[in-house]
Structure 1
Amino acid sequence: MKRRNFIKNVSLGTAAGFAGASGLQAGVLDSNPTAESTFNLNYAPHFGMFRNHAGEDLIAQLDFMYERGFRSLEDNGMMGRPVDVQEKIGNHLAKLGMDMGVFVLDKGGNGANTFASGLKEHTDIFLNGCRRAVEVAKRVNAKWITVVPGDFDRRLPIDIQTANVIDTLRLGAEILEPHGLVMVLEPLSDTPNLFLRTSAQTYMICRAVNSPACKILYDVYHMQKNEGHLITMMNHCWDEIAYIQIGDNPGRKEPGTGEINYLNVFKHIHEKGYRGIMGMEHGNAHPGKDGESALIAAYRKADSFL
């Protein structure tokens, strides 16, 4: 399948799922006077974000998210959860009509095993992770898996490192593509040692891998730190962006707590036709129930662009 058609189909499929989830909303609103309407974009909280309201039980947290208008979930640590917990989460997401967002590929790439080195033992760790991720994705009905290539191998020329990363990702794509899964590559700002830094670099790598199973995870927080020009760079890389994450800068908290004009960013993303998941990959600016309520209010405000 051609890349452009794949992206179009992914967007339409996600939009259909979101619309279906919204259709379930009416009954919930009728039976629960505290339930809130959905958002214009499909924001995905993570476990723990609303624990002061919902408690520690993961299913209760999912119910709270749904009642507050959220229709997706992110869980970076899903691969580390017991199988029965994964199945329980997946079943409850299906019951609510919620989508599963990204989880992080376990041991996919880090300072200890970097794709840039081209070493077989590093590649084998990654490919084993891809095979295990297929089974996890089935249990929770996931489509997107976060992949980070790891650190630079500064013993090698940069172009050789890039070629090694591309070769490794192609092997991973061969495992994931037949299952309709997508590894979304996330350029990060956490340390200067991380190989993947910018959206343009990630765009180039996705083009070289040339598979519908390898796309960009555009994390607004990291890209504000590493390159800025958010709307311009999103436009340049748009054909390869399959997933978006959120966090204000500085602080990596909810929209409105930093320098990013999220009202304009969200409006632009909506006008581009994106109806995929918007992962809330950040902390809460304030503690307790008040902080959780403030976080929801911040999203209502930033989402009020229509």
Structure 2
Amino acid sequence: MTRRLFSAAPGAVIGVTMLLLALAPHVSAAENAPTAPGDHEEMLQFGGMARSFIVHVPSGFDPHRKTPVVIMLHGRGGSGARVENQTGWDALADRENFLAVFPDATPQSPDQPPNFRTNPRQWNWSSGNGGGAGKQVDDVGFIAALIDLLESSYGADPARVYVTGFSNGGSISWVLGAELTSRIAAIAPVSGELWSKPLKLTGAMPTLFIIGTADPLNPLAGGSATSPWGNAQNHAPVEDTLSGWRDALGCTGEPRTVRDSGGLHDVLWNKCAHGEFEYVTVEGQGHVWPGAQVALPHIFGNSTNLLDATSTIWTFFKAHPKHE
């Protein structure tokens, strides 16, 4: 395993590669190359902070070929390592041969250790203005710098960079799709509403949005919801998210029903100026990544096995590379 510290300048390593001999004294330097299969814990110096992320290199990785990349953004209180374990993106990356990347958001108090209840990590979806960490953090800029690094140091294909996220990570996915349109091929927010409106797109941004019908933290009908941190927050109806993003995409007409069975309702707007918009609801699903087998407090609601969100999103992403 390697741990490196990069600067925000593409490909510039400002720290030395450190072999974690205490954990794996038998590992050779060649096996610690960044293109070796498995997880690589990395740091990126950006905005005055060392930002952490995990890059999972697939078992069939070819450093001489451009490789698709999926950036998975965790929810509030989570971490890249935890969401990697919960969603199965690493195992799917091995089967489908893409890079799976799991960055960490910053805690509310960045100078203190993260803690789920008292100092949760969370994404700032407003490019440094509200909605995220207590310290004003430019997470849009961080993800842009991360994409630079992945392209320069891991051979990520600029035409196949995809972003998905859950809850708070889903909310910033919408903003990344709008502000980094030239860098991202498609997005797939899960259980995260679009808080920042209006957003304007300058190019195509095919989008898949998934949410459970029984999500207690993002209720479909809107209204007040109490978070795991005890604060009540008023949510707009999910239809506001849908209409706001349809406006950004320039969609017209009624959606076409793709599926309405097995607890899944899937509709598609494909008459859009900036890419199609697919919307899936999962019957009885709470505020949990669909298909994840995790034990969470009752405040998050139920988990179902009606949909494997990870494989569903990857199928959508594969069909939507960026076209110049």
Q: Looking at secondary structure, tell me which structure has more strand per residue.
A: 2
Structure with larger RCO (C-alpha < 8 A, sep 6+) = 1
Q: Looking at secondary structure, tell me which structure has more helix per residue.
A: 1
With normalisation by structure 1, the TM-score equals 0.32
